[in-house]
Structure 1
Amino acid sequence: MLVAVAVVPQTPLLVPEIAAGAAGELEPLRAAAIEAVREAAGVADRVMVVAPGPGKEAYDSVVADFSAFGYECLDTGASDVRPGSALPLGEWLLSAAGVTLPRTFRETTGTAIDLGGHVRTALLVLADGTAKREESAPGHVDVRSLAFDAVIGTALAGVDLDALASLDPALADALWASGAPAFRALAATVRADAAEGWAARLRYDGAPYGVAYWVAVWSRKDVWSRPA
């Protein structure tokens, strides 16, 4: 049973040691992401961490290892997920939020996530928007980015499953919107479990360094707090 969703960026820059000189500038984004994870997990009995990627395996544990990105500043040990996966960031966020619930990690190409049973589950979705919002962005600038990202931001604020499910994979690739598969998987998973009865809070909508990031929390309206 899906009871809550937290959507956060998949960038390792959320980790202060990695952000280094930009850590202060990114603090509002980091704080919003950690609080969203804490809020979503607070009504659940376990967490499913989802990130875009080709991996088909599910992991019961993932180490917050960022060496694949060239960062070895954190002595965390090595993870067995594919190099470059965003899943280790999910573990870091859960730890930063003080979440100790059982968790499962998996990547998705855009299909629904099998939640596996009736356990109250919070979905932690790691996903970015386009990386072509300005000349200084990783992919430089593409005028189509603003409209593409606006669709995602509006959908996250209003639980618009149709809009997320309809994100064009080819256009997403062209705009370097690497999180599109995770957004489509989010829509498919919510639709399969409980398409209606959700409340949304968009905590962050911005594009530092030309990359679109959001932090959002979706909660089932009938599940606002853990039963006594």
Structure 2
Amino acid sequence: MITRAAVVPHPPLLVPELVAGATAETEPVRAATLAAAGKLPGPWVAVAVDPAGPATFVPPLSGTFLGYGVDVPASLGGDLPPDAHVPLPVLVTAWLRERCAVEVSRVELVPPDLPTSDCVSLGRRLAAEDCGLLVLGDGSTRHGPRSPGSDDERSGPFDTAVHELLAAADTDGLLGLDTGLARELGAQGRAAWQVLAGVPGPWRCSSADFFAPFGVGYHVAVWERP
């Protein structure tokens, strides 16, 4: 049974070498993400959102952040040479694994447009596994003029609602997120959060944070059994 889950983002800015000029500005996200992941028991099963999904990645597997500017290697386990085509969420899972010194069983990638019903089905299938569940996904990409997308005034209320739902461990609320609105706001994490919501509870949240450096929303939370 999954007894603890951590919700984290997966931006390249988590890796200090990739943001040499903005290490201080990104440190709060990095510290919160490492703290949340560090509370997960091993082995990990990770669920992440990526256009490459559906796909499953298992160790031995190594990759590199070279495509994001610096050749920083990261491994899910094993000593294979780095694969230059490993998707970003898998790289971030590997980077976190190395810093938390745990094993990763696998990383499940789901597509951003995965229907809510399919998210629930995956969550239920995962529920019986004896693992820590790492849930990777980002919020809206449209927070203000520094955002990668154009500014959208709906992004603030959307990510505020997501933060409150995560903080309350409100599975029904997460499953009720508007998939169309999430897509319009670039919040690809919606599918991963709904996979978590599909894992039967009861749950309680022990910590929840929200950050939006550079105009992108990043959620960090830890859920555990009461």
SS at match of 2:62: coil
Per the normalisation by structure 2, the TM-score is 0.84
Residue 78 of structure 1 pairs with residue 88 of structure 2: no
Q: What's the C-alpha RMSD, in Å, of the aligned pairs?
A: 2.1
Residue 88 of structure 1 pairs with residue 98 of structure 2: no
Name stretches of at least 5 consecutive residues in structure 1 with no aligned partner.
222-228
Match of 1:65 in 2: 64
**Quick one: which amino acid aligns to residue 19 of structure 1?**
V
SS at match of 2:210: strand
- Give the distance between the partners of 1:3 and 1:26, measured in 2 at CA: 30
What does 1:135-150 align with in structure 2 at a 5 Å threshold? 135-150=145-160
SS at match of 1:63: strand
Whether the 8 Å contact between 2:163 and 2:208 is mirrored in structure 1 is no
Whether the 8 Å contact between 1:60 and 1:104 is mirrored in structure 2 is yes
Residue 22 of structure 1, CA deviation: 1.1
Whether the 8 Å contact between 1:50 and 1:87 is mirrored in structure 2 is no
- The C-alpha deviation readout for 1:99-141, integer Å capped at 9, x for no partner, is 2x3421111234224328x542111111111011101111121
Per the normalisation by structure 1, the TM-score is 0.83
**Quick one: which amino acid aligns to residue 213 of structure 2?**
P
Match of 1:211 in 2: 216
Name stretches of at least 5 consecutive residues in structure 2 with no aligned partner.
75-80
**Quick one: which amino acid aligns to residue 63 of structure 1?**
S
- The C-alpha deviation readout for 1:176-199, integer Å capped at 9, x for no partner, is 1121111122212x1xxx321x22
Residue 84 of structure 1, CA deviation: 4.2
Whether the 8 Å contact between 1:138 and 1:210 is mirrored in structure 2 is yes
Match of 1:49 in 2: 46
SS at match of 1:25: helix
**Quick one: which amino acid aligns to residue 104 of structure 1?**
R
Residue 163 of structure 1, CA deviation: 1.7
Whether the 8 Å contact between 1:35 and 1:97 is mirrored in structure 2 is no
The partner residue of 2:142 within 120, 125, 132 is 132
Label 1:4 to 1:56 Cα distance change in 2 as closer, same or farther (>3 A): same
Whether the 8 Å contact between 1:64 and 1:92 is mirrored in structure 2 is no
SS at match of 1:143: coil
What does 1:1-228 align with in structure 2 at a 5 Å threshold? 1-41=1-41, 45-53=42-50, 54-61=52-59, 62-67=61-66, 69-76=67-74, 77-79=81-83, 84-99=87-102, 101-109=103-111, 110=114, 111=119, 112-113=122-123, 114-115=125-126, 118-188=128-198, 190=199, 194-196=200-202, 198-221=203-226
Whether the 8 Å contact between 1:151 and 1:163 is mirrored in structure 2 is no
Matched residue count: 209
Match of 1:224 in 2: none
Whether the 8 Å contact between 2:136 and 2:192 is mirrored in structure 1 is yes
Whether the 8 Å contact between 2:13 and 2:19 is mirrored in structure 1 is yes
Whether the 8 Å contact between 2:174 and 2:197 is mirrored in structure 1 is yes
- Give the distance between the partners of 2:48 and 2:104, measured in 1 at CA: 17
